[in-house]
Amino acid sequence: MIGAEIGMIRGARIAGPGREFLMDDEPVDIVIAGGRIADIAPTGTLRPVGEVLEAEGSWAVPGLWDNHVHTVQWALAAERLPLGDARSAAEAAELMRDATPLPDGRVIGAGFRDALWSDAPTLELIDRATGSTPAYLINADVHSAWLNTAALRREGFSARDGILREEDAFEISRRLNAVDPLHADAAVRQAGEQAAARGITGLVDFDMAWNADAWPRRIASGFGAHRVEFAIYPFDLDRAIAAGLRTGEQHGSPLVHVGPLKIITDGSLGTRTAACSHHYPGEPENFGVLNVPPAELTDMLITATGAGLAVAVHAIGDRAVTAALDAFTTTGAAGTIEHAQLVRHADLARFARLDIAASVQPQHALDDRDLVGAHWAGQTSIGYPLASLRDAGARLMFGSDAPVAPLDPWHAIGAAVDRADDDREPWHPEERLTIDQALLASTRSAIRPGEPADVALCGFDPRLAHGVELREMPVVATLLAGRMTHAA
């Protein structure tokens, strides 16, 4: 039934946004016309229209969104050696020894987390393991990369320890991701099908590339798994303005819209470059980095706002979050703060006052809990706030930051609701959200007449699920504007 245009979903129970309009949990029929929900009524009340999808009592939620994805990098991750389980630099280097080279002769590993390693990555160590084959190891946070001598020489960089950080690391990722467009598009199409299987009907693409050409090309070649909003980076800002791109406008297809200008103002916790109020342990001069000085950030927001572009500001450390909020205050720009992993108490309410959404990735809190204990123990701001932001009136938008975390909205929802994904006690349980709050942060529509017919049918009632059952929620079917994009 993939690709079928559905006229009615019969016998579904509604969960998430839209449920508040119903008196009970009895099954209903959802009529779809023109890509939108036309009517909802108790099962059997309405005459079947067009092709009928039998829900058989499964639970319907609005189509899920991932509001922060690096699409091509995520799609290409399957071709790269996973290093997430490496417990030391020596182990990561040894894994790379047996990596299969790509057709261009390079070997690429991704996902290592060196912040808790007892040994340090060195050029000698990676050279000994990989020899003359150009080797690239990408940190899980993408803010640093470990290259051997052959790779450094090939790319025209130098680093005494083989580690490139921040902009140099981003440049390496851009080059590794700049594969043949047909290759990239095929990988993105396959990844889109995987996303649809988890109930995804939309994502925001933060690839560090000129996405204005890529997405119309993909749509023209048959991509139809989900909606897309694509970001623009400062190095392409003048080009975007000259092309007349404006946030929210359709771009070549009803599935594709122009997204925000993405500005990376600080580093990351894993690379110890997130801009913080207090220094990192054992590094009295390291308070992280502000990649974009406040005055320059303000100028960028003014330029973007004048051109009709919203702004997505990457700010992880509390100094960076404050600087971003200051720039939004000065300029009146619209947009989001991406990540907001360390937030001063005084800044919580500023999100709501400025109507700046907190675009956060709940799974990061669980992936980083050990890093926080090691590297942010001396910080006095709130780490990975969810309930604190929500209670202060901030609008939350969930994402994965894939490939940093898996592109699976149920992981984000589960992390927000449970604040745990292993046998340990919940991490800062005071920051937990309810399932209804988590679903609201993961959707952009509701199950009610007039809304887009973007629907995910779930095998369990999300309101009663916890732990593994929630994180591994079975998705029976996914509809995008009434068209089937996934069927179990």
Q: Are residues 450 and 430 in the same domain?
A: no
Q: Are residues 425 and 450 in the same domain?
A: no
Domain holding 478, by residue range, is 1-63+446-488
Question: Which of 438, 437, 473 minimizes the C-alpha distance to 456?
Answer: 473
| pLDDT < 70 stretches in the chain | none
Is residue 23 one of the residues assigned to a domain? Answer: yes
- Supply the CATH number for residue 113's domain: 3.10.310.70
Q: Are residues 282 and 259 in the same domain?
A: yes
Q: Are residues 332 and 463 in the same domain?
A: no
Given this model, what pLDDT does residue 22 score?
85
Given this model, what pLDDT does residue 19 score?
87
Is residue 58 one of the residues assigned to a domain? Answer: yes
Secondary structure in 3-state letters for 386-455: CHHHHHCCCCEEECCCECCCCCCHHHHHHHHHHCCCCCCCCCCHHHCCCHHHHHHHCECCCCCCCCECCE
Question: Which of 134, 159, 177 marks a domain boundary?
Answer: 177
Q: Are residues 319 and 283 in the same domain?
A: yes
Given this model, what pLDDT does residue 382 score?
97
Q: How many domains does the chain have?
A: 3
Q: How many Cβ atoms are within 10 Å of 406's Cβ, its own excluded?
A: 17
Q: Are residues 95 and 244 in the same domain?
A: no
Residue the block writes with tokens 């932001």: 389
**Residues 251-295: pLDDT tens digits?**
999 999 999 999 999 999 999 999 999 999 999 999 999 999 999
Cis status, amide bond into 403, omega within 30 of 0:
yes
Question: Which of 177, 202, 236 marks a domain boundary?
Answer: 177
pTM to 2 decimal places: 0.95
Tokens representing 302?
Answer: 């003014």
Q: Are residues 160 and 222 in the same domain?
A: no
SS3 (DSSP) at 295: helix
* Distance separating alpha carbons of residues 176 and 94, to the nearest angstrom: 21
Q: Are residues 102 and 52 in the same domain?
A: no
Given this model, what pLDDT does residue 25 score?
86
Q: Are residues 152 and 37 in the same domain?
A: no
- Supply the CATH number for residue 31's domain: 2.30.40.10
Question: Which of 39, 13, 14 minimizes the C-alpha distance to 27?
Answer: 13
**Contacts of range 40-48, beta carbons closer than 8 Å, 24 or more positions apart:** 40/14, 40/447, 40/448, 40/449, 43/10, 43/11, 46/8, 48/7, 48/8, 48/10
Is residue 331 one of the residues assigned to a domain? Answer: yes
Given this model, what pLDDT does residue 20 score?
87
* Distance separating alpha carbons of residues 151 and 153, to the nearest angstrom: 5
Is residue 76 one of the residues assigned to a domain? Answer: no
Q: How many Cβ atoms are within 10 Å of 104's Cβ, its own excluded?
A: 10
Per-state percent for the chain, helix, strand, coil, to nearest 5: 35, 25, 40
Question: Which of 279, 335, 282, 333 minimizes the C-alpha distance to 303?
Answer: 333
Residues contacting residue 350 through CB under 8 Å, at least 6 positions apart: 325, 329, 356
* Distance separating alpha carbons of residues 297 and 265, to the nearest angstrom: 8
Is residue 481 one of the residues assigned to a domain? Answer: yes
